Chains A and B, each alone.
Chain A
Amino acid sequence: MNQEGMFKPALIGGVLLGMLSAIPVISLFNCVCCAWVIGGGMLAAHLYVRGAATVVTLGSGILLGLLTGAIGAVVDTLFTIPIHLALRPFGMGFAEQMRQAIDQLPNVPPETRDALRSFFAGGRGIGFLFIILTGFFKLVVYGVMGMIGGAIGVALFEKRKPGTEPPVYQPPMNIPPPPPPPPPDIPAQP
């Protein structure tokens, strides 16, 4: 398993899925089974399979997807902060979006809804605290969904059969030791 070669595809997939998941309207696509995250994992797997000299296994794909999801969660959290700061003057900051999400929750009694709404109206600190907490939540969810994407990507894009990879050069094992150096000329004793 070439773990060094995993980082570049994971970085590309993770940054892409993180950016797409942070943009307000486009991020709604994540409501379809975390589609951006699974897509990012699949993209990373495709890039890794294309550049790998040996057959990529499911385990490698899952590890790659986990890495992609983790990078995506970090990028998503880092992008979310400036985006919400920029949207705050237009009434679309984090607290406002949370209030909208609470209003759309099904089956929640009005008093609970009011309590949650007043909690999220607690000012800027609450918003940042929740962005950080959401970041940890995303780290777990994006990791699991990234693993799923990596596994699907390897299953779809890896077409080589195990055992068909090119032979790897191995140096000979039993090299005979070099001959001992000739003894130095000893001058004859007078």
Chain B
Amino acid sequence: MMRVSRHPGNADPIAKKRTLHLLPFEYNGPARGSREPLSFNHIAMCPLTRCPSNPARPLLVLLWVALCCMIVAAPLLVVHFPALAAMLYLFFAPICHQNPDRSFIIAGHALAVCHRCTGVYLGLLIGSLTPPLRLGSLSTPPQRRALVVCCTLPLLLDVALSSLGIWTNNMSSRFSTGLLFGAMLSTLLVSGIEELIDRHSWKMIRFQTAHVKGGIS
């Protein structure tokens, strides 16, 4: 495990106080065998971004990877494990129309969800894998609203214009609009869940500090 700087200058104050058991990537606490006491100033750092890590992103990546694997596994299991494949198709049936004409084909069988939903789930995964950009894209409400509108409008237009008979959507348009929508959703979810975890860990630290130090904070 790589040991990184203990006092990063760019860490925000809430992340500096994050508890040790919430840390997914790295822990830069006292070295093994040292007599230095464990404290909450030991901050976990993401090895890629060099900023305090938060478990929201890896947890969401795991969730979306699991969903994507289930989507792809359904047609692959049809031949050897048909009951399992049927269960996977049933799992996604309430949230997708599963029309084979509007689904990707793998090994001669349709995926468990349609083109658009495949794009949405893949977008959710890609959005979660993208390293955090410190460009302030979600820092103000107008920017956030613009992001939601810009990524949702193509999808709504694709559906609405096709329903009205003005435009005939195809595989590419369905998949790409779903991908854009999913990536936007992922950005919102990661930001929000990271914020939630920061707040929650802050409360946990206060509780634990009170427990350890006999009610100081």
Q: Answer whether A105 and B95 are a contact pair too, CB < 8 Å, given A58-B191, A59-B192, A152-B188.
A: no
CA distance A109 to B75 in the complex (A): 12
CB distance from A149 to the nearest CB of B (A): 10
How many chain B residues sit at the interface, stated as a range, is 35 or more
CB < 8 Å neighbour of A147 from B116, B141, B189: B189
**Residues on the A chain within 8 Å of B138, using CB:** 58
Instruction: Please count the residue pairs between chain A and chain B whose beta carbons lie under 8 angstroms apart in the complex.
Output: 109
**Residues on the A chain within 8 Å of B206, using CB:** none
CB distance from B95 to the nearest CB of A (A): 5
CA distance A1 to B93 in the complex (A): 36
| B147 at the A interface (CB under 8 A) | yes
Q: Establish whether residues A155 and B85, one from each chain, have CB atoms under 8 Å apart when the complex forms.
A: no
| A78 at the B interface (CB under 8 A) | no
Q: Establish whether residues B97 and A31, one from each chain, have CB atoms under 8 Å apart when the complex forms.
A: yes
CA distance A152 to B186 in the complex (A): 11
CB < 8 Å neighbour of B189 from A113, A148, A156, A159: A148
Which residue of the partner chain B has the closest CB to A113?
Answer: B86
| B183 at the A interface (CB under 8 A) | no
Q: Establish whether residues B199 and A115, one from each chain, have CB atoms under 8 Å apart when the complex forms.
A: no
Q: Answer whether A62 and B189 are a contact pair too, CB < 8 Å, given A106-B110, A107-B89, A112-B82.
A: yes
**Residues on the B chain within 8 Å of A161, using CB:** 140-141
Q: Establish whether residues B144 and A105, one from each chain, have CB atoms under 8 Å apart when the complex forms.
A: no
- B:97-138 near A, CB below 8 Å: 97-98, 100, 103, 109-110, 116-117, 120, 138
Q: Answer whether A107 and B110 are a contact pair too, CB < 8 Å, given A147-B189, A155-B144.
A: yes
CB distance from B190 to the nearest CB of A (A): 10
Can you list 9 A-B pairs with a CB-CB distance of less than 8 A?
A30-B94, A31-B96, A59-B195, A62-B192, A101-B93, A107-B75, A112-B86, A148-B185, A161-B141
Q: Please list the residues of chain A having a beta carbon within 8 angstroms of any beta carbon in chain B.
A: 1, 30-31, 33-34, 57-59, 61-63, 101-102, 104-109, 111-113, 115-116, 137, 141, 144-145, 147-148, 151-152, 154-156, 158-161
Q: Please list the residues of chain B having a beta carbon within 8 angstroms of any beta carbon in chain A.
A: 63, 74-75, 78, 82-83, 85-86, 89-91, 93-98, 100, 103, 109-110, 116-117, 120, 138, 140-142, 144-145, 147-149, 152, 185, 188-189, 191-196, 199
